[in-house]
Amino acid sequence: MGPKGLVVCILVFLVIASGCVQRTDDGNETTEYEFYNVSGNNTTEIEKGDFTFKIHGPSEMWIPQNRSMEFYVVFHNTDEDGERHSFIARAYPSVADFDVMAAYECLHFTTCSDLLNDMEDFMEQPEDPVKVNHSHVDIYPIRISIPEDTVKGTYMYNMVACQDMSFENCIETESNWGPNIAITVHII
């Protein structure tokens, strides 16, 4: 490798490293600086009172059948009490396009239990919250896995985030504060 190749490799490494959330053994020794410098072009950020969360990666994804994709919810603990808190995120099915609804023979999305169950199954979400020290950040991984026989089309989710709640209790009607992040998955 010549000098130009070495310079290109170093530059690529620096660009990739600048968009990463670094984790240490306790999982949250990153600071506010890292939170605000995580891949700003591919994030959606929501302020929710005592914490802020964002999706690291695109909020609109194109995933082929029989493939998976991982993205991260990044939490920043800004609670004024200065204490360590636990955070959890949960994706809820919100709507599917007309072709998907027709394939499931559904008239109304909210009463289409097979479709809702399949959409919930696409999201592999850890049920253990992340614990984040005050003014630190941590990441919460979510994998979307699309089975081979999934109906092609557009599926939408609302991502809710909760502080000091269990996975079961972090639901849309009980989510702690403010708006949700919309996620769109196009299955191709």
57-98 pLDDT tens trace: 678 899 999 999 988 888 888 888 888 888 888 888 999 999
Contact between 48 and 170 (Cβ < 8 Å) = no
Contact between 183 and 42 (Cβ < 8 Å) = no
- pLDDT, position 39: 47
**DSSP state at residue 110:** G
Q: State the CB neighbour count (10 A cutoff) for residue 62.
A: 13
119-167 pLDDT tens trace: 999 999 889 998 988 888 888 888 999 999 999 999 999 888 888 888 8
pLDDT greater than 60 at residue 18: no
pLDDT greater than 80 at residue 111: yes
pLDDT greater than 60 at residue 108: yes
Helices (H), 77-131: 98-103, 113-122
pLDDT greater than 70 at residue 22: no
Residue 77: strand pairing partners: 51
Given pLDDT bands bounded at 50, 70 and 90, which one contains residue 1?
Answer: low
> Domains of the chain, with CATH numbers?
3-187 (2.60.40.10)
What the block records as the tokens of 45 is 């950020």
